[in-house]
């Protein structure tokens, strides 16, 4: 159970639009810049619809807790769970609900120019705690020519679903905030 100090909303289980809109709220908190995307993420108990954690790009400072580079939205979701339970991030699978889902406005990265641990690796090292990742848009080839985060996740048994195609333009506009 997430400590009372971190209360988040609950939406109807399976209400993909509500969860993705909430992830967009997070993405809008990310400082705009031409050298990154503004991404938001929401970690959810898929059985109850309870939001467990949120995150957005650059929510935590660069090199947070010795992790090289900038913080990504998915990483920030995991950091909050880890901090709440006093666990290292790679052990949060021990406290996550059996049917945890991740909503993210952009496909999880599988390559980082900073050398930081990728979001796909972070998801996979949670030992199947996250069975489904709901994605708003694929990562554009702006910084990494061919992000294959979806392919890597699916090859390891994690479902990747794009449930809100009608929000694609809206998500892209938020993601590219600060780009010219």
Contact 14, 27 (CB under 8 A): no
Nearest partner of 143 among 169, 110, 95, 104, judged by Cα: 110
Q: For 8, phi and psi rounded to 5 degrees?
A: -125, 165
End-to-end CA distance of the chain: 43
pLDDT value at residue 63: 85
pLDDT value at residue 140: 82
pLDDT value at residue 50: 96
- The three-state (H, E, C) secondary structure of 96-161, written as one string: CCCCEEEEEEECCCCCCCCCCCCHHHHHHCCCCCEEEEEEEECCCCCCCCCCCHHHHHHHCCCEEE
Low-confidence ranges of the chain (pLDDT < 50): 1, 4-5
> Tens of pLDDT along 126-160?
988 999 999 999 888 777 777 888 999 999 999 99
- Cα angle 85-156-152, degrees, rounded to a multiple of 5: 100
pLDDT value at residue 4: 47
Q: What does the chain come to in residues?
A: 180
Question: How many Cβ atoms from other residues are within 10 Å of residue 153's Cβ?
Answer: 24
Q: Which residues contact 176 (CB under 8 A, 6 or more apart)?
A: 37, 38, 140
> At 45, is the secondary structure helix, strand, or coil?
strand
Question: How many Cβ atoms from other residues are within 10 Å of residue 33's Cβ?
Answer: 14
């Amino acid at each position: 159970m997430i400590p009372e100090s971190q209360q988040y909303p609950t939406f109807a289980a399976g209400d993909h639009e509500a969860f993705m809109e909430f992830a967009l709220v997070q993405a809008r908190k990310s400082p705009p810049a031409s050298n990154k995307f503004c991404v938001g993420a929401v970690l959810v108990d898929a059985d109850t619809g309870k939001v467990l954690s949120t995150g957005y790009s650059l929510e935590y400072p660069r090199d947070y807790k010795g992790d090289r580079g900038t913080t990504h939205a998915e990483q920030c979701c995991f950091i909050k769970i880890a901090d709440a339970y006093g666990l290292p991030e790679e052990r949060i699978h021990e406290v996550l609900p059996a049917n945890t889902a991740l909503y993210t406005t952009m496909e999880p990265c599988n390559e980082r120019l900073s050398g930081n641990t990728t979001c796909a690796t972070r998801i996979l090292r949670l030992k199947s705690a996250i069975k489904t990742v709901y994605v708003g848009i694929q990562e554009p080839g702006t910084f990494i020519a061919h992000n294959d985060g979806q392919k890597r996740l699916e090859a390891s048994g994690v479902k990747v679903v794009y449930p809100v195609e009608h929000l694609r333009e809206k998500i892209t506009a938020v993601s590219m905030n600060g780009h010219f």
